[in-house]
Amino acid sequence: EDQVTQSPEALRLQEGESSSLNCSYTVSGLRGLFWYRQDPGKGPEFLFTLYSAGEEKEKERLKATLTKKESFLHITAPKPEDSATYLCAVRENYGGATNKLIFGTGTLLAVQP
Partner 1 sequence: DVKVTQSSRYLVKRTGEKVFLECVQDMDHENMFWYRQDPGLGLRLIYFSYDVKMKEKGDIPEGYSVSREKKERFSLILESASTNQTSMYLCASTPGKETQYFGPGTRLLVL
Residues that bind partner 1 (CB under 8 A): 31-32, 34, 36, 41-46, 49, 87, 89, 91, 96-101, 103-106
- Identify which of residues 65 and 85 has a Cβ nearer to partner 1 in the complex: 85
- Identify which of residues 14 and 98 has a Cβ nearer to partner 1 in the complex: 98
Instruction: Give 16: exposed, middle or buried? Use CB within 10 Å, 0-12, 13-18, 19+.
Output: exposed
Q: Is 22 helix (H, G, I), strand (E, B) or coil?
A: strand
Euclidean distance between CA atoms 79 and 16, whole angstroms: 7
Q: Name the minimum Å distance from CB 72 to partner 1.
A: 19
- Identify which of residues 27 and 101 has a Cβ nearer to partner 1 in the complex: 101
Q: Name the minimum Å distance from CB 113 to partner 1.
A: 26
Characterize 37-54 residue by residue with b for buried, 16 or more Cβ atoms within 10 angstroms of its Cβ, and e for exposed: beeeeeebeebbebeeee
Euclidean distance between CA atoms 19 and 72, whole angstroms: 10
- Identify which of residues 20 and 99 has a Cβ nearer to partner 1 in the complex: 99
Q: Name the minimum Å distance from CB 44 to partner 1.
A: 5
Q: Name the minimum Å distance from CB 98 to partner 1.
A: 4
